[in-house]
Amino acid sequence: MALIQNKRIRFDFELLKEFEAGIELLGIEVKSIRAKRGSLTGARVLVRGGEAYLVGATIQPYQAENTPDSYDPERVRRLLLSKKELLELASADVAKGLTIVPISLYNKGRVLKLSFALARGKKQKDKREKIKKRQTKISIEREMKRK
């Protein structure tokens, strides 16, 4: 079960390959995520210098009054991946039109994991077609229910 999800990701992007990684967090961030206080909207994964980082994710402090003044909710967080996965992501990140986007943060036992994917952005035309198909499906189901 996902604690934090990026709900629009499948609408905005065509997901090519999914990955899973550990994430380096502070204690107050872990508690906050388990309380489902965060957002992956607008976040992305960058591969630089042989390491992967989660950029743009917002994790609000668990107890704002007890949080240090230096805490930044949108700080860059390091992802824990194998060298093989890092090389694959680094080569794909260079490819034209591809980006790495986070899908969800979830528990796997006692450990928090980040699910992310190599993705290609959808065109506006593709999004309109998807909406149209969904609406026709709903209207067909309504007609079938009436009869």
Q: Where are the domains of the chain?
A: 2-122
Residue 98 has pLDDT above 90, yes or no: no
CA distances from 90 to 45, 80, 83, 101 (A): 11, 14, 10, 14
Q: What is the pLDDT of residue 124?
A: 78
Q: Which is nearest to 2 in space by CA: 29, 44, 34, 24?
A: 34
Q: What is the pLDDT of residue 127?
A: 77
What phi and psi, each to the nearest 5 degrees, are found at residue 82? -80, 160
Compare 113 and 10 and report the one with higher pLDDT. 113
Q: What is the pLDDT of residue 61?
A: 85
Region 139-146: what's the mean pLDDT?
89
How far apart CA 112 and CA 110 sit, in angstroms, is 7
Question: Which of the four pLDDT bands, split at 50, 70 and 90, describes residue 63?
Answer: confident
Region 92-112: what's the mean pLDDT?
87
How far apart CA 4 and CA 90 sit, in angstroms, is 25
Residue showing tokens 């189901």? 141
Compare 124 and 139 and report the one with higher pLDDT. 139
Residue 70 has pLDDT above 90, yes or no: no
CATH 3.30.300.90 fits 2-122, yes or no: no
